[in-house]
Structure 1
């Protein structure tokens, strides 16, 4: 068992090295999420955002080695990325000492930066997957689906509740990414768990949700 954990951690390190954030990756990230010309400070915020997630990959790989093998390699990869996002958002709840606080005149709401269609579609896919798994009495798959739904719910809550940092345009763009990508990951995992036609629906939803960038009500450029 310990050998499996070590091997998994090594694979996590390999993935971490391959995906180590740089200024170029941060620039692509911010441009994709509607920050057209990132400044050096904005790029630093993007790099910090990515590092917070990817540094956890070796730990999550090792932890997943302890979980029962449910034979879904794609699903396990989704769990790793979703787990990294969850832990990163929880860590972000603690205000950094050097962070630039951003005050808003009105309270920040979820739909100020997230799409109702993305979250609504995610809920529909999860319900359909749960219904299919329930009919087939695949209780272990329902457990994984339930855990992923809890993870997505916590990520969404943390994306709203965590302290603001950096410039507002970047702060809200990265909150949007956290919500949409986690919903997409949750939809993909739901589809993979349900299998058959739901698998393709989940993958397509993941792609669509991860590329949905709504206009932000509270961002002024």
Structure 2
């Protein structure tokens, strides 16, 4: 029982360490917006970005111990991948019903998936997941196919929520952060698929995550 408690304490402490290391600041928010093509962001726009980051990272200290302790996902230490993916999912679901005090904005044109996300990111993600599923099926790893399907479902829900959630704050920031949510979740899903298949596909999945998370949106779509 003491080992059980010690393991929980270690997981919680590591989750809190993640929160401290990743705590959003104004400089983080400004850097995030510039990366996603919101040029010369104002203080109000930076505040929107910091709020977006806090909604996700405040979940990490609680998700990391829960996922790391209760999910039997291989022997490898890839709990951080799943933690970030789960944090993105919960944050997007919570954003479906924004606080009453939140500043609302309306878009003059309907939002579609391809208005938010790059087609290359979405197609690459689908190809990676299908390739991983075929590989696991060939080797009869149906247990891992189940985990792959679950991660794909999570990415699908995040994508749906990023497109349909009510708009809040500045419109340029709102669209940029929606794009970030879709691209980062697709990248995380690709990394999960790669790790499930193992070397060398795990390495390829991590590279896909980095590439997708740094794929810039089309300027016209953000400025619309």
Q: Same fold (TM over 0.5)?
A: yes
Which of the numbers 113, 118, 123 marks the counterpart of 1:115?
118
Which of the numbers 36, 51, 65 marks the counterpart of 1:48?
51
C-alpha deviations, 1:140-196, integer Å up to 9, x for none?
Answer: 222221111111001000001111011111000000000000000100110111112
Query: What is the Cα deviation at residue 38 of structure 1?
Result: 1.0
Count how many residue pairs are aligned between Structure 1 and Structure 2: 220
Partner residue of 1:150?
153
Work out whether 1:105 is the aligned partner of 2:108. Answer: yes
Partner residue of 2:183?
180
8 A contact 1:101–1:166 mirrored in 2: yes
Work out whether 1:190 is the aligned partner of 2:213. Answer: no
Residue 16 of structure 1 aligns to a residue whose secondary structure is: helix
Query: What is the Cα deviation at residue 115 of structure 1?
Result: 0.7
Residue 87 of structure 1 aligns to a residue whose secondary structure is: helix
Partner residue of 2:76?
72
Work out whether 1:129 is the aligned partner of 2:128. Answer: no
The TM-score, its normalising length taken from structure 1, stands at 0.95
The TM-score, its normalising length taken from structure 2, stands at 0.93
Which stretch shifts more, 97-106 or 159-168? 97-106
Superposition RMSD on alpha carbons, in Å?
Answer: 1.4
Residue 51 of structure 1 aligns to a residue whose secondary structure is: helix
- Structure 1 stretches of 5 or more lacking a match? none
Partner residue of 1:92?
95
Distance in 1, matches of 2:150 and 2:20, equals 28
8 A contact 1:113–1:216 mirrored in 2: no
- Structure 2 stretches of 5 or more lacking a match? none
Residue 81 of structure 2 aligns to a residue whose secondary structure is: helix
Distance in 2, matches of 1:219 and 1:186, equals 24
8 A contact 1:113–1:217 mirrored in 2: no
Residue 36 of structure 1 aligns to a residue whose secondary structure is: coil
Distance in 1, matches of 2:81 and 2:101, equals 32
Partner residue of 1:6?
9
Distance in 2, matches of 1:13 and 1:219, equals 34
8 A contact 2:176–2:222 mirrored in 1: no
Partner residue of 1:163?
166
